Structure 1
Amino acid sequence: MKLKGKGRLRFTVLAVLCAVNTAGFTSFAMSPEGETPVIYGATSLEDDLPDSASSKEVAKKVTEAVQQIAVEKTEERVKQIQAEEEARRKAEEERLAAEAARKAREEDQRLLAALIFCEAGNQPYEGQVAVGAVVMNRVNSGVYPGSIREVIYQSGQFGPAMTGWLDSVLQSRSYTESAMQAAADAMAGSNPVGGCLSFGNGNYGIRIGDHYFH
C-alpha cells in the first residue's frame, strides 16, 4: 500500500520516533571539532515527505529532535567516561598510598627490631617486647617526638643510635627473628610495662630480665 500526503507524513514521523525510542537514536558521528553530530538516516527526511511547508517543518523538527537526542546521548557517555576515569584515578591513588604506608611500617619495624636487638638481644622475649613498648610509649606520649625514627634517633636517648651500632645492625639486617617479632608485637600494642618511658640497669621500676622499666 502506497501512502500519500498527510498519511505518508504521519507514517514517516511515527517510524522515526519509534526508531528513536527503540534504538535510542540513529547512527551519528562526531566531528573532530566537537560540532553537532551528523545523524545518518534522519537528515534526508525532508526529501521523503510531500512538498509542502507543513511537511517540511515537521521533518525539520523531527530531524532536530533526533539530533538533540544524539547530542544528549553523547554528553551522557562523556560524563560516564569521565566518572570512570576519576574512579580509576582515585583507586590508584589509594593503592599507592596504601603501598607507601606498608613500606613505611616495614621500615619502622626493622628499625625498632634493630634497636631491640642492640638493647635487649640477650634478654627474655618479654624484655625485648618491653623495650619496643617503651619506644611506642614515647611516640604516643605527646612529650617525645611523634615517630619511631625520631624517638630512636633523638639526641642523647639510646646508646646504640649514638655510637653507630644501631645503623650497622640495621644495614646488615643482623637483628634476630625474635627482635623482629618483638617489634611487630610492640607496634601492634603489646605492652608488659604499662606507661613506662625509660629502662636501664637501675634498681627501681618493673624488672624484666636485667632491665628495670620506669
Structure 2
Amino acid sequence: MNIKFIPHSIALFLIFILAFSIPAQSAQAASPATLKVGSSGADVPDLQYRLKTLGYFNKDVTAYFGTTTLESLKRFQKDYGIASDGVAGKQTWETLKKVSVNQTELTLLARIIYAEARGESYKGQVAVGAVVMNRLASSSFPNSIRGVIEQPRAFTAVDDGQYKLTPDKTAYQAAQDAVKGYDPTGDALYYFNPQTATSDWIWSRKQTVKIGRHIFAV
C-alpha cells in the first residue's frame, strides 16, 4: 500500500460524508416544528392559516400558539382521526399538508382555477380546485400543491402560460371552498373539455359529472 495516499483518501471520505449530510440536515431544518401551547415562531402562523382555510380557526393569524389555536387544532385532530392532544407533531403536519394550504399555496390554487376555468360558473371553478385537492390527497400524485399543479403536462394553462395571470376574487373564493371540502366533482382526479380532448386515455376514464364545458373523471 502506498502510505502517501492515505491522508488524501481520508480527506475525500470526509468530503463525501459532508456532502451528503448537509442536505439531510437542511431538509430536517425545513420540517415544521412540533408546536404546542406557548409555542411561537414562523410555523405557528402557518399552522393557524391552514386551520383557518379548513374552517377550524376563526381569529386573526398570529405567531403565538394560544388556547384558541389549541382548541382549533384538537377539533381538527379529532375529525381527521389523529390523537386529539393539541400538539402539532409529525402526523398532524403530514395530514394538514394533505388537506389544507398555506397562504402561498392558496394563491397557486387560485391561479390555476382562474387560468383553467375563469369562463366557467362558480361551481365549475370550485370543481377545478377540488381536482387539485383530490390529487394532493392521492398517493398517485405529488405531495404538494405546487407539485400537483406544476407537474409536467398536468394542466394546459401551465403549459401555455395562462397560469401566470393574476386571479380575481372569485378564483380565491373558489380556492377557499375547494380547500374546505366543497367537491362537486364526485372525487374526480381528472377533467377535460370534450370539444377539444383528443386523448383516447382520458376518454377511457370513468366519468363522474359534467359541469359547464368540463367532464370530470376518476
> What letter corresponds to residue 182 of structure 1 in structure 2?
A
Structure number with the higher helix fraction is 1
Q: What's the CA shift for 1:99?
A: 1.8
Aligned to 2:193: 201
> 1:121 corresponds to which residue?
118
Whole-Å Cα distance in 2 between the matches of residues 194 and 142 of structure 1?
18
8 Å CA contact 2:186, 2:208 repeated in 1: no
Identity %: 38
SS at match of 1:213: strand
TM-score, normalised via structure 2 length: 0.51
Q: Following TM superposition, by how much is the alpha carbon of 1:93 offset from its aligned partner in structure 2, in angstroms? A: 4.3
One-letter amino acid of the counterpart of residue 199, structure 1 = Y
Aligned to 1:99: 45
Question: Structure 1 CA distance, aligned partners of 2:118 and 2:135?
Answer: 21
* 8 A Cα contact 2:106 2:175, kept in partner: yes
Specify the SS of the correspondent of 1:199: strand
The list of structure 1 runs, each at least 4 consecutive aligned residues, that deviate by more than 4 angstroms after superposition, is 90-93
Question: Is 1:138 the equivalent of 2:135?
Answer: yes
Q: Is the CA contact (8 Å cut-off) linking 2:185 and 2:208 kept in structure 1?
A: no
Give me the whole-angstrom Cα distance separating, in 1, the residues matched to 2:37 and 2:131: 37
> SS where residue 117 of structure 1 aligns?
helix
- Structure 2 residue runs of 5 or longer lacking an equivalent are 1-35, 51-100, 195-202
Structure 1, unaligned runs of 5 or more: 1-89
Matches within 5 A, 1:46-195: 93-101=39-47, 102=49, 105-166=102-163, 168-169=164-165, 174-195=166-187
If you compute each CA radius of gyration, which structure gives the higher value, 1 or 2?
1
